[in-house]
Amino acid sequence: MSVNISNLYQELSERVIAARNSGQPLIIKGGGSKQFYGRNVIGDVIDLRACSGIIAYEPTELVITAYAGTRLQEIENALAQHGQMLPFEPPGFGDYATLGGAVACGLSGPGRPYTGSVRDYVLGIKCLTGKGEILTFGGQVMKNVAGYDVSRLMTGALGTLGIILEVSIKVMPRPEYETALTRKTDFNTALTSMNAWAGESLSLSAASYDDGQLNIRLSGKETAVASARKILAMEESGTELDYWSQLREHQLAFFKDTKPLWRLSVPSTTGNMNLAGDWLIDWGGAQRWLKTDEPVDNIHRITEQAGGHATLFRGGDHDGEVFQPLKPALMQLHLRLKQVFDPVWILNRGRMYRDF
């Protein structure tokens, strides 16, 4: 890394302190590939692209540590040289996606129900708080739990609790073998099958229902995958594994639409939901993409009744409440956390909720 990191951190800290003293909000930006996510915000941009590079990578320890502005592509290329991967398959939504952005947004790809979420693999974080303090939480091994919960809190917080500077991530070996299977079927049959198979030893690593097609990805030892293929008795997909990367990156035809796109997280066994629109089912039934013009309150109410939460992902009104409204007690907990890390409310103010 050509930039002197100590000087850069000092400059960033001074900017935050100046913003705190003036009350001027700051917008945290890395590659900018996920600026659409969350509520619209205003403020001065604090750019982290200079904070880039891999700090340490120990393939034998399955751990990589990098600066927040490091592109995901650089991380994934380094891991691929050693037959390893980020198991939560973070969507990039563009070539400039960064590690810090992936952690701050907390989004995971199709394998999330089977391999875990971003939060499950974050070992440690160095961050800059709204007070201008640089703090380190967690470490580079799972057994180091000092402050580990704070690292997890930063994951998915959209920069509202602190500016992520460095991240240590647990990585995993790439599967020895993968294949994609498909079958035409109806929604109820697909949902029943996906939930039944999730409880069996079938090397399942992704499952979706899209336009009348049940889609399955199998990953693991070649012998185990071959055995699972025989049990499932499904056709090999003509598009093979490209479908899953296109689903992760929202490059499928389903996502090429101007209608508001909602992301619904519900129990995987949830049946048909009484919401009009076009659906794509991911995560074996637990993540549902909905294109609809339904009223926001209606979507939130029906999703909450199903035991889940809904997020306006793209399109629609991002000046309103984008995320599922929180219960008063949970909102108070969020506000107390915000007060501890960012007492003057300057970091990504309003990105998640109007109140913070």
Q: What topology is assigned to 5-173 in CATH?
A: 3.30.465
| Of 339, 346, 347, residue with least CA distance to 21 | 346
What number of other Cβ atoms are within 10 A of residue 236's Cβ?
A: 10
What does residue 181 show for φ and ψ, rounded to 5 degrees? -125, 155
What tens digit of pLDDT does each residue of 19-41 get?
A: 999 999 999 999 999 999 999 99
Assigned CATH class of 259-314: alpha beta
Would you say the CATH fold of 259-314 matches that of 5-173? no
| Of 114, 148, 142, 310, residue with least CA distance to 216 | 114
Q: Which amino acid, 194?
A: M
Architecture (CATH level 2) of domain 177-248: 2-Layer Sandwich (3.30)
Cα distances (angstroms) measured from residue 328 to each of 151, 203, 204, 332, 335: 24, 41, 39, 6, 10
Return all residues near 170 (Cβ < 8 A) that are at least 6 apart.
62, 63, 121, 123, 142
* pLDDT value of residue 149: 75
* pLDDT value of residue 294: 96
* pLDDT value of residue 144: 42
* pLDDT value of residue 239: 58
In angstroms, what is the C-alpha Rg of the chain? 21
Three-class SS of residue 288? strand
* pLDDT value of residue 241: 79
Cα distances (angstroms) measured from residue 81 to each of 27, 90, 203, 216: 35, 19, 24, 27
Q: What is the pTM of this model?
A: 0.93
All residue ranges of the chain with pLDDT < 50 are 1, 141-148
* pLDDT value of residue 233: 85
* pLDDT value of residue 138: 78
**C-alpha triplet 97, 322, 188: angle, nearest 5°:** 90
* pLDDT value of residue 148: 41
* pLDDT value of residue 146: 42
* pLDDT value of residue 150: 83
Query: Residue ranges per domain, the chain?
Result: 5-173, 177-248, 259-314
